[in-house]
Amino acid sequence: VSRLRWTLVALLVASTALFAVGVTAERSDSDTHVDVTTPQAEATGTEQEGAHDESGESGETEAGEAHSETASGETDPEDERVLGVDLESTPLLVLAVLAGLGLAGLTATRLGAPARLPARSNGDRAGLGGPRCPRGRPSVRRVAHRRSVARDQRRGPASRRRRRQRPPRPANRGAGAMKRLIAPLILLAAVGIALVLTNGGGRVTGDAQTAGPVVPAVSVARLDGDGAFALGELASAKSPTLLWFWAPWCEVCNHEAPAIERLAADAGGELAVVAIGGPRPGCQRSRVRRPAPAAQPDRVV
């Protein structure tokens, strides 16, 4: 039974370690996937397309379509879940720690409990009329022990003191130390898994989060001059919302605007579209011949 317990504990520790390694590997894959969307990657793609444009093989529209091939850096929310568990959920940390504490306590209770032998008084230790082992005959070793104790009784208290001062056996001491270490090890493994699952032990980028940040407390002016729209209203929207960021001088934006308008019309109540223009250049800067700034805002959506 003792070997079976040790085997179960070893399997438990090994499985938790493997699980933690698997979670960490999946997390690093997700980070690599997200890094594709960094501005550096965009700049590289832009430079390549800029060179393509300079060769005179394609116009602006073709360049925009070619750029869409490099826009595969979107993040998939499904990649950010491990076994269907929300990695960002704080209650998971609490549950994991509580589970680890419970497991550690159970293990300490079962493995650290003393052997179920009848309690013996000093008189019993002398082997003079004390309770005997309830199961079967006493072993040869126990009989020898009793005889030794009885011999010490006859010789006097000095002999008993010598016996008491005898150091414990190394084998028993090692087993006891291992038993005492099991509970802290299991607790440590549980806390480690909780930290990994809740991103406490790794880097998290904004795109890698399962559910991104809540809408910022920002109000943006309407293009028609009719006040401003608070993005905070999107926190309780009736439908999913697509924020489309555009610039008035951006040829790709202007090419895409009719499709966005059709998308807003076709989606009906399934999707709301909010177009947010901006005056400054972005990833299209190196390959778009910019007209006069803010010259064509009315052409977009």
Chain positions 112 to 151 lying near another protein, rule: CB under 8 A, are none
Closer residue to another protein in complex, CB, 152/251 = 251
Q: Is 256 in the site for another protein (CB under 8 A)?
A: yes
Q: Is 278 in the site for another protein (CB under 8 A)?
A: yes
Q: Is 238 in the site for another protein (CB under 8 A)?
A: yes
Closer residue to another protein in complex, CB, 139/245 = 245
Q: Is the dihedral of CA 103, 108, 109, 110 positive or negative?
A: positive
Closer residue to another protein in complex, CB, 31/124 = 31
Closer residue to another protein in complex, CB, 136/269 = 269
Q: Is 37 in the site for another protein (CB under 8 A)?
A: yes
In three state form, how does the secondary structure of 171-199 look?
Answer: HHHHHHHHHHHHHHHHHHHHHHHHHHHCC
Candidate segments 16-24, 130-138, 153-161, 223-231, binder of another protein by CB under 8 A: 223-231
Q: Is 260 in the site for another protein (CB under 8 A)?
A: yes
How far, CA to CA in Å, does 251 sit from each of 36, 46, 50, 196? 24, 14, 14, 44
Instruction: Output the smallest distance, CB 300 to another protein, in A.
Output: 7
Query: Distance between CA atoms of 44 and 135, rounded to whole angstroms?
Result: 80
- Contact at 8 Å (CB) between 64 and 166? no
Q: Is 207 in the site for another protein (CB under 8 A)?
A: yes
Closer residue to another protein in complex, CB, 29/65 = 65
Q: Is 215 in the site for another protein (CB under 8 A)?
A: yes
Q: Is 87 in the site for another protein (CB under 8 A)?
A: no
Name the one residue in this structure whose structure tokens are 């809540």. 214
Environment class of 248 (CB within 10 Å of its CB; exposed 0-12, middle 13-18, buried 19+): buried
Query: Distance between CA atoms of 197 and 88, rounded to whole angstroms?
Result: 8
Rule CB under 8 A: which of 59-78 touch another protein?
Answer: 64-65, 67-68, 70-71, 73-77
Closer residue to another protein in complex, CB, 92/223 = 223
| Pairing label, strands 85-86, 81-82 | antiparallel
